[in-house]
Structure 1
Amino acid sequence: MGSFHVSVERTLVVLQAAALCCLLTAAVLRTVDAAETGDGLPVAITWLALVPIVTALWALRPRIVRAGHGAEWTILAVLLATPIAVFGTLNFTIPVLLLIVAFAVVDVSLRAGIHAAAWILCVGFALHVADNLTSWGAFFTGVIQGLINVVPVAVLLCFGIALGLSLRSFEKRRRDDQKVINRLQHATEMEKELLLSDERARSARELHDGLGHRLTLISMSLELAERMRGIDVDQAWEEIRTARDTTSDALAEMRMWVRALSPVRDADARGLAALELIAESFRGTGLTVDVSGDEASDRELASDDEIALLIYRAVQEGLTNALRHGRARTVRIFLAAKEQQMELAVINDFGWGAAAEPPELVPAFGFGLRGISDRTLERGGSMRARRVDGEFHLDVVVPLHGSGGTEVFSSG
């Protein structure tokens, strides 16, 4: 719709330029004729003067109409067009009259366009009659000449009214579409705020349950050590060591949260280089992250911002879950573009060891994974999250061209 609106605006500019060129041509021809015959010079001068005036009026029209002065603009334009209608015939001056009537319909109403056309026609007809009032014969001759000039102009001005109706309908549809776009943008912003609110609530809850719990343990250990220092020195030192170890765990968790919530630092990074930056931000937590991909995937990520954003968010979420829920030590990231689709695999081990059974076969599919799933489905892709042989696999497939997607959550 935006490109169509631009094309209509450009067409109007072309029509205005053509109409002004026609008026200028008529003025020049009348000037040449006046130089040869000595008659018609005032008309030529009037038309020449109206060229820059009408140009300025049309240039200011959008701003004047937006300010709510469409009716005043229409009246002024019609009054300026009256000399053109009075002294003109069926030649180069008609396009200017046609556009002025069309703009009257667009900027005010259909009735305004009809009134503008009627005014132009009546003034022209009246002047033809007024020039022939010397006798009844001359009067009838003036009426006939007036009709001969007015009727063709009336037919052409009807085309101006039709053009105005078309432009008015287009403007109404454009305004309606803009209202719909504004409502969608408002709904999107509201949804974004709700999603961010959910994420903040989830983060606050996990910080309270994890980091808050550890800080509580540190405080209890230090209080107990203070009470026991005069009774049982060994027990007091044991509590201090417990507080130290818990402090280390709390610092590690805080570093994990900082890495997980940090975006890619280099805004100019593209393709696999951006994935490497995401991986590097998590390596600071002690996590080993390996990133691999082919040239085709690197090229597609660099050329398609929507797919790139989806892949980056999926990798970030996969690394966050591996660190937060799986207590992973190693994560492998594979990216490939083949058969008109982008394939991402994020695979991590479990920090509690392959022999031990993890407390959760699959991390809870909360806000993060659900958001990745929704974005993937919107792009016509699929997401699969599952446990396979002591590892957790997050697989995302996004078609480079296509539609329709599925999401799969399983325990493998």
Structure 2
Amino acid sequence: MAVPPASSPGAGAVRAGSSPGSGGPPLGRGVTPVPRLTAERTVDLVLAAATVLVVALTVGAGLEAERDPSVLAYLFALGFGAVLLARRRRPVTVLLVTVLGIFAYYALGFPAIGQALPAAAALYSAAELDRTRAALTIGGVLVGVAAYFRITEGLPATYLLSYELLTNVALVVAAVALGVSVRVRRQSRLDQERLRLASLAEQELEADQRLQAQRVRIARDLHDAVGHTVSVIAVHANVASEAVGRDDALVAASLEQIRTATSSTLRELRSTVRLLRTPADDPARGTVGLGGVAALAESTRSAGLDVRVDVDVPDDAVDGAIGAGAYRIVQEALTNALRHAGAHRVDVRVALAGGRLDVVVRDDGAGAVRTPAVAGAGQGLRGMAERASLLGGTVTCGAADGGGFVVHARLPARLTA
């Protein structure tokens, strides 16, 4: 029985080298099932066709042949390629059939084709599909049988050990290593995709938890707003009751105050309850409004930051939820400037413009350094953006012209009932 000659490794190296080129890109895909199946089938067809072509060309070369090539020899070439079409479903079976086919081919005395030529693709496939131990075992048997028959044919032991055996072992190991490498890279991509999906799920959970916490704050703020309004109504109702029959003008003024407070609070109550009932909406409210910005600035000054405030908003010009949202945005911006900016001065300007509330907080700190954090949407900046969005407004953050960092919020003056 003849075995692969020393000249065969070159052809085997071509096959092993072509495998990643043809199989690599489709393995990189796989996000959606149908394209993956199509790509895998294409790879299998290309691999089978290449094997048939290379083996057939080698058969035609007629190296070390005991008999001239025949149709049966070319049928072997076709069989070596055809069996690869089942490599994904039965990788070990495909490898066994390929090795037995090699033995049968050489037993019939056909031209040498080398063990690596038809076997490398099958070894690669088995290793790629996590059958590494089987691939190494069967590959070792193939090399051992080939070495045994080469010795019985009288091949010098020095030549066998120094060249042919070493080359054949290297080809088997290379084919298996290539398959393992492709499998590991594919598994790494799948793991990264799973981690990405897990990270997205975690972010959604955190966002939901933040929204639930905001809802609790809204309920608490709503309780405070209603309690304040009821207190105002009670005071004016007492004044009106005492002035009945003695001061009709005072009664009328008290009733007007009651009517104004009631209508304003009812409008805000309806808007807030509607937003609370909508899962995607969650207005950010606070127990303090624009009137608390001055006290907020004073507390920040006590920490060593020069804060200059310009609030140009008439009383009752904005709803309580809007004022509370603006207050929280200013609070977060001042906190960021104090903690992260290394700033010395912060300018806060709040004004009405075109029926909307403009809130601008600008510091003279390290704006250029902090700009990437905006794109990353840190907790504070993300919270400001969510708060403004849920109130129907927007927030933009970034490096200011001339240095520093600026936060600009645009909010509606009134909630839409």
Q: Using structure 2 for the length normalisation, give the TM-score.
A: 0.47
Higher RCO, Cα 8 Å, sep 6+: 2
TM-score (structure 1 length as normaliser): 0.48
